[in-house]
Amino acid sequence: MSEFRIEKDTMGEVRVPARAYYASQTQRAVENFPISGKQLPKQLIRAMGLVKLACGIANRDLGKLTGTGKNPLNDKQVEAMLASCREVAEGKFDAEFPIDVYQTGSGTSSNMNANEVIANRAIEMLGGDRLAQAKPVHPNDHVNMGQSTNCTFPTAIHVAVALAIVKDLIPALSRLGDVLTRKAAEWDKVIKIGRTHLADATPLRLGQEVGGFARQIELSIHRARRAADALLELPVGGTAVGTGINTHPEFAKRTCAALAKETGLKFVEAANHFEANAQRDALVECHGQLRVVAVTLFNVSNNIRWLGSGPRCGFYEIQLPDRQPGSSIMPGKVNPVMCESMMQVTAKVMGNDQTIAISGAAGGQFQLNIMMPVMGDTTLESVSLLASCTNAFVDFCAEEMEANVEQCNAGVEKSLAMCTSLNPYIGYEKAAALAKQAFKTGKTIRELCEEQNILPHDELKKALDPWSMTEPG
């Protein structure tokens, strides 16, 4: 067999790899966009399969595919087409989507890629020759019925991102939140010195500090849910410009219902198809929430990195697991590599948010946003990176962290901020003078108070009790 076959479309003949399931329009795009060598994310390819499946179900149930229009299908052909859509949704044809991410801004090339693969696979299922020019299951007339790239491609982005958030990111964040909550409970009796402005502050419990981290992750889970919720309105059915030309009046509603059934997510028809087709504000909102999640994860991992600094000349209040040698020249050095990995990932996600913002603001002109492929790819990258790095952080850092109780306790008594609890007894200015004297002499606040009889012994013991300083009162 020849290495290539000839396919024809409205622009003429095209040489296509002989055994490819895709056809002419896909091949034209492959040749037009030799940009990055990076195909669409697999989640988006599979979401396109889901969208095509839902559209096909709606058209089948509405009698459109087997109706009296041009080239009607029989029931067997319809079911083959739907089965082909499902195979794409299951990832069986990921390799048949070779078009570069940086392509036509609407995603038309990838939409036609999906249409061609689904049509040819359906023909093959029916025992026909998928390489023949005649297409009994046609990529435009049947697979793309009632659709335009302008409404189906953004729908696929919404579906892919929402599924990734719900199935990957939220479970990863939940794992981290659970670990930090458990550590907070385990370390609730460990008293340590607080720090504000990186300077010594009043005591608190290590469990309280880590409990604050756990609450940050809990809030991140809420934000991730809001990120997914922002995508539940779908533009499918708006076709070219939002008018719904060439669709059945119930097509959009039925397609969204089919997607909701397939995914378990509460997808609904867009309230206004002109907004839904033209703008990607929902995706901007979604990634904005992901940006906050990234900021939180950067902050938490960086704080843990600081708390684990040392082991002799840093804080070393949390002992981080040793993962690998930390230096090519300093023997025995071990670094907080998992914290650093997470910080790099989250910095990347924060940068991605700028791409999404620019694409949303400048890309949506009149009835179409023309930055959709990069928006879909970038958002899915952010979700994937956040989920992966969070899982790795749990597995290789958070689960194995240990409290350095001795180090925590040692810092409390030495802290000059112990004088804070003396304010109600001797006033701010006298307490400040004690702090300065303690720093100058190297003595503790307690030692100076005892030498100078600042308070009776029992009263001083009560005032300088570190545990009492970790609670209101």
> Can you tell me the distance from the alpha carbon of 153 to that of 277, in angstroms, rounded to the nearest whole number?
10
Q: Are 305 and 346 in contact (CB under 8 A)?
A: no
> Can you tell me the distance from the alpha carbon of 238 to that of 247, in angstroms, rounded to the nearest whole number?
8
Catalytic residue list contains 110: no
Q: Are 109 and 26 in contact (CB under 8 A)?
A: yes
Nearest to 154 by CA among 65, 90, 230: 230
Q: Are 121 and 21 in contact (CB under 8 A)?
A: yes
- In the set 197, 222, 273, 287, the catalytic residue is 197
Q: Are 179 and 211 in contact (CB under 8 A)?
A: no
Nearest to 318 by CA among 228, 426, 210: 210
Tokens 């998992």 found at? 338
> Can you tell me the distance from the alpha carbon of 291 to that of 351, in angstroms, rounded to the nearest whole number?
9
Nearest to 99 by CA among 373, 363, 358, 287: 373
> Can you tell me the distance from the alpha carbon of 62 to that of 57, in angstroms, rounded to the nearest whole number?
8
- Phi then psi dihedrals of residue 322, to 5 deg: -80, 120
Catalytic residue list contains 327: yes
Q: Which two tokens stand for residue 249?
A: 């009046």
* Cβ-based neighbour number of residue 168 at 10 Å: 19
Strand-strand pairing, 318-319 and 268-269: unpaired
> Can you tell me the distance from the alpha carbon of 12 to that of 6, in angstroms, rounded to the nearest whole number?
10
> Which residues on neighbouring strands pair with residue 40, listed in sequence order?
none
Q: What is the DSSP letter of 140?
A: I
Tokens 């949303």 found at? 360
The alpha carbon dihedral of 15, 19, 24, 25 has a sign of negative
Nearest to 172 by CA among 340, 402, 352, 384: 384
Cis previous bond, 34, omega within 30: no
- In the set 222, 327, 457, 468, the catalytic residue is 327
> Can you tell me the distance from the alpha carbon of 233 to that of 235, in angstroms, rounded to the nearest whole number?
7
Where in the sequence numbering do the catalytic residues fall? 197, 327
